[in-house]
């Protein structure tokens, strides 16, 4: 089934980014968020992103106007009907995601696909909340979505081959490169990334080096664009901690144990860039 109309649930940075690349690909998009203010900000962010592309000559005037016209908004997913494909992009909270998937089950066309942008939560468990687990899949975009090329596709225990192929085709239509992961905690990217960030927290806690020295060492020593502590700040230390806990609980190995320093920073409300303070001050 060709995808023409998608609903994106969550108008934050990830959701608005996903909506933008879908609009650039010529799709009709309905952006959904329970917060009227958040919805307005998300729609403004999308239009600004599209306008910037047009100013750089990457989007002609006809496609820009078509993208503007193809964007609709709603405060509840149940307000939208006739959707081919849904992408959920709300905060990393399993209970919240499962509730949203129950709603999406009634919104998406029979045979249509329900995707989650989760970076760590079991696709199989989310799928079990629906009446169509074979049509549920993980579609993990990287942040910032318009700039990052990768989409990590995660197949749950019941995900059908047709669901996978349709999802892959949609990601490629959005200009992304895909990889496939089995449904294990953290999938591929966070299974490898989060332990590195967590280890940087342990190194700082143990006095191996300062924040600046740890980040400079990893940037220049391993040719990364930013150091692990700065990256953790950009992701959000609360999110890093949550994924570390998912890895620790799901895999049962102490090598995934979250750093006490990371936990302390989160307890203090020092979440990184979004709160103005993490390992750095913003």
pLDDT at 103 over 70: yes
Is 49 assigned to a binding site?
no
Is 275 assigned to a binding site?
no
> Which pLDDT score, from 0 to 100, does residue 82 have?
84
Catalytic residue among 117, 190, 198, 259: 190
What is the C-alpha to C-alpha distance for residues 233 and 28, in angstroms, rounded to an integer? 34
Is 92 assigned to a binding site?
yes
What is the C-alpha to C-alpha distance for residues 238 and 134, in angstroms, rounded to an integer? 32
Query: Average pLDDT in the 162-173 region?
Result: 97
**Residues in contact with 112: Cβ distance below 8 Å, sequence separation at least 6, in sequence order:** 1, 83, 84, 85, 86, 135
CB 94 within 8 A of CB 69: no
> Which pLDDT score, from 0 to 100, does residue 53 have?
95
What is the C-alpha to C-alpha distance for residues 181 and 117, in angstroms, rounded to an integer? 13
* Strand spans (E) along the chain: 5-9, 28-32, 71-74, 83-88, 108-116, 136-141, 150-155, 177-182
Residue 259 appears among annotated catalytic residues = no
CATH of 5-182, one of 3.40.50.720, 1.20.1070.10, 3.40.190.10, 2.40.430.10: 3.40.50.720
Catalytic residue among 140, 181, 248, 259: 140
Judged by average pLDDT, the poorest of 71-85, 163-177, 212-226 is 71-85
Confidence band of 81 (pLDDT split at 50, 70, 90): confident
pLDDT at 83 over 80: yes
Query: Average pLDDT in the 229-250 region?
Result: 96
Identical fold between 5-182 and 190-273: no
> Which pLDDT score, from 0 to 100, does residue 122 have?
95
Mean predicted lDDT score pLDDT of the chain: 96
Cα pseudo-dihedral 231, 236, 240, 241, rounded to 10: 140
Q: Tens digit of pLDDT for each residue in 194-224?
A: 999 999 999 999 999 999 999 999 999 999 9
CA angle, 95 as apex, 89 and 100 as ends, to 5°?
50
Query: Average pLDDT in the 72-82 region?
Result: 92
34 HSE (CA, 13 A, CB side): 6
pLDDT at 1 over 80: no
Residue 206 appears among annotated catalytic residues = no
> Which pLDDT score, from 0 to 100, does residue 214 have?
98
What is the C-alpha to C-alpha distance for residues 212 and 219, in angstroms, rounded to an integer? 10
Is 143 assigned to a binding site?
yes
Is 82 assigned to a binding site?
no
Domain boundaries in the chain?
5-182, 190-273
From the centroid of its chain, how far is CA 94? 14
Question: With helix as H, strand as E and coil as C, how does 252-263 read?
Answer: CCHHHCCCHHHH
Query: Average pLDDT in the 160-171 region?
Result: 98
The domain defined by 190-273 folds into 1.10.1040
Is 12 assigned to a binding site?
yes
Cα dihedral across residues 164, 169, 171, 176: positive or negative: positive
Name which of 73, 71, 128, 72 is nearest 105 in CA terms: 128
Q: Would you give the DSSP letter of residue 12?
A: S
Residue 5 appears among annotated catalytic residues = no
pTM of the model as a whole = 0.92
Residue 152 appears among annotated catalytic residues = yes
Is 10 assigned to a binding site?
yes
Q: Tens digit of pLDDT for each residue in 12-66?
A: 999 999 999 999 999 999 999 999 999 999 999 999 999 999 999 999 999 999 9
Catalytic residue among 119, 120, 135, 181: 119
What is the C-alpha to C-alpha distance for residues 160 and 201, in angstroms, rounded to an integer? 39
């Amino acid at each position: 089934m060709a995808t023409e109309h998608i609903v994106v649930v969550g108008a934050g940075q990830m959701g608005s980014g996903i909506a933008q690349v879908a609009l650039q690909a010529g799709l009709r998009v309905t952006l959904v968020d329970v917060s009227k203010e958040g919805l307005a900000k998300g729609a403004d962010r999308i239009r600004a992103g599209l306008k910037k592309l047009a100013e750089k000559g990457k989007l002609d005037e006809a496609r820009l106007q078509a993208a503007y016209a193809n964007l609709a908004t709603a405060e509840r997913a149940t307000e939208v009907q006739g959707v081919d494909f849904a992408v959920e992009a709300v905060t990393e909270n399993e209970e919240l995601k499962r509730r949203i998937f129950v709603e999406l089950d009634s919104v998406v066309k029979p045979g249509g696909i329900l995707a989650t942008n989760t970076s760590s939560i079991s696709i199989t468990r989310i799928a079990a909340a629906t009446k169509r687990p074979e049509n549920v899949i993980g579609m993990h975009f990287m942040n910032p979505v318009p700039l990052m090329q990768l989409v990590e596709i995660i197949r749950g225990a019941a995900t059908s081959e047709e669901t996978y192929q349709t999802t892959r085709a949609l990601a490629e239509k959005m200009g992304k490169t895909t990889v496939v992961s089995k449904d294990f905690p953290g999938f591929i990217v966070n299974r490898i990334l989060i332990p590195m960030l967590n280890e940087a927290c342990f190194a700082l806690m143990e006095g191996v080096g300062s924040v600046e020295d740890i980040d400079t060492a990893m940037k220049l020593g391993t040719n990364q664009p930013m150091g692990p502590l700065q990256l953790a700040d950009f992701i959000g230390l609360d999110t890093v901690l949550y994924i570390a806990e998912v890895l620790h609980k799901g895999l049962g190995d102490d090598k995934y144990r979250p750093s006490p320093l990371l936990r302390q920073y989160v307890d203090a409300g020092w979440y990184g860039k979004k709160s103005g303070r993490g390992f750095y001050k913003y």
